[in-house]
Amino acid sequence: MAAESPTTSQKSAIRWTSRLIRQLRGTRTQTEFGTLLGTRKNTIWRWEAGQARPDARYTARLCELAGRERFLEDWRLVGSMTLMGDLENAQAEMTELFRSSLKHTSRPLTE
């Protein structure tokens, strides 16, 4: 079940993974992207390689840039169950989804 677009507070709480940072950088060079954020290209490289994470200052800058470029405008929470509500029913739904996905992706072990 998909959720609505994130609010401003949700966007500022985004965990900037290496994949998201690479997507936000797009076709810009690491040097150009670093200049936009006020850091060096080596720092951008470490973030994208997963060797380091942006601190709070750079997280805010990444969120600001993402907002200006409408980067997360169509962001949706995908693959999750109802976020609030009956946890037992949600657990049962997740278990059933997991079982059905196993049926589709697994192959018989008897060959």
- In the chain, what are the domain boundaries? 8-68
Instruction: Give the chain's mean pLDDT.
Output: 77
Q: Is the dihedral of CA 18, 21, 26, 27 positive or negative?
A: negative
Rank 35-44, 65-74, 97-106 by mean pLDDT and report only the highest.
Answer: 35-44
- 55, pLDDT greater than 90: yes
- pLDDT of residue 5 exceeding 50: no
Tokens of 22: 């690479």
Which of 1-15, 42-56, 93-107 ranks highest by mean pLDDT?
A: 42-56
Interatomic CA distance for residues 50 and 63, integer angstroms: 18
CATH fold for domain 8-68:
434 Repressor (Amino-terminal Domain) (1.10.260)
Q: Would you give the distance in Å from CA 84 to the centre of its chain?
A: 21
Average pLDDT over residues 39-56: 95
pLDDT of residue 32: 94
Rounded to an integer, what distance in angstroms lies between the CA atom of residue 28 and that of residue 51?
20
